C-alpha cells in the first residue's frame, strides 16, 4: 500500500475551482462581477507563469467571505460543486482514483485552493483526506485571512511532511499527480511523479526526467 497524492485544479478537474467559485460569487451578488472576475483572471495568469504570490490571491479571493459564517458559505458551496464542478471531473482521473483504491493505496488531495472548496469537491470524489489552505475565523465568521502554511509550492511539501508525521506515513513508493510547474517541489520528492496535462515548464521537466506524461480527459 502506498500514498497516492493528487493535485486538484486542472488535474482532477478540467478547470480551476477557485476561479469558478469567483464567477459563482458574482452570480450570487457577493461581488461586482466584471471587476472581480477581471482581477481573478489577472492573478491566475500570474499563477500559470509561476509568478503568483498566493497571499495576494487569497487576500483578494477571500474578501467576499468576510463576516460570513462557514455554514452560510457551505450552504451555497454544495450546489456549486454539484452543478459546476462535478460535470468537469476528468473521467480518466476518476478511473485513476479507482485504480489506487483497488490497490489499497491511501489517497490524499493536496491543493492550493481554500479548504472549504477542496473538501467539498473531495467528498464528491469519495476522497476523505485533504490538505488545502485553511481559513481563519473570528467569533464564528470568516475573517478573510488564512491560517498556517499555505499549500502552495514548497508549502505543499511542508504541510505534507507534517501530515506524514501526524499519520505515521512515509513517501516510500508514493505517487503524485499534477499539471503545474508550481508543484515541482513536491513532484521531485516522490518515487512516482506523474505530469497530468502539464504546462510547458512541467512538460519539459517531465520529458527530461523521464516522468510519465498523462493526457486526462
- For the annotated catalytic residues, the residue numbers are 7, 9
Beta bridge partners of 141: 138
Sign of CA dihedral 14, 18, 19, 21: positive
β-pair type (129-138, 141-147)? antiparallel
DSSP string, 40-71: HHHHHHHHHTT---HHHHHHHHHGGGTT--HH
Rg (CA), the chain: 17
Using CA atoms, how far apart are residues 9 and 180, in angstroms rounded to an integer? 9
Amino acid at each position: 500500500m502506498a500514498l497516492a497524492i493528487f493535485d486538484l485544479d486542472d488535474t482532477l478537474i478540467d478547470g480551476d475551482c477557485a476561479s469558478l467559485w469567483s464567477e459563482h460569487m458574482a452570480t450570487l451578488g457577493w461581488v461586482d462581477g466584471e471587476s472581480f472576475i477581471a482581477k481573478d483572471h489577472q492573478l491566475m495568469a500570474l499563477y500559470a507563469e509561476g509568478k503568483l504570490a498566493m497571499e495576494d490571491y487569497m487576500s483578494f479571493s477571500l474578501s467576499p467571505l468576510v463576516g460570513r459564517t462557514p455554514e452560510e458559505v457551505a450552504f451555497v458551496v454544495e450546489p456549486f460543486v454539484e452543478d459546476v464542478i462535478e460535470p468537469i471531473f476528468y473521467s480518466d482521473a476518476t478511473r485513476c482514483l479507482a485504480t489506487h483504491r483497488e490497490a489499497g493505496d491511501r489517497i490524499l488531495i493536496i491543493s492550493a485552493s481554500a479548504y472549504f472548496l477542496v473538501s467539498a469537491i473531495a467528498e464528491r470524489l469519495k476522497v476523505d483526506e485533504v490538505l488545502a489552505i485553511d481559513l481563519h475565523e473570528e467569533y464564528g465568521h470568516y475573517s478573510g485571512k488564512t491560517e498556517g502554511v499555505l499549500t502552495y509550492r514548497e508549502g505543499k511539501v511542508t504541510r505534507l511532511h507534517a501530515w506524514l508525521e501526524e499519520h505515521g506515513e512515509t513517501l516510500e513508493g508514493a505517487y503524485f499527480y499534477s499539471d503545474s510547474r508550481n508543484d515541482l517541489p513536491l513532484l521531485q520528492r516522490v518515487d512516482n511523479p506523474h505530469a497530468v496535462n502539464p504546462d510547458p515548464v512541467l512538460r519539459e521537466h517531465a520529458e527530461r526526467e523521464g516522468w510519465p506524461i498523462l493526457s486526462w480527459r
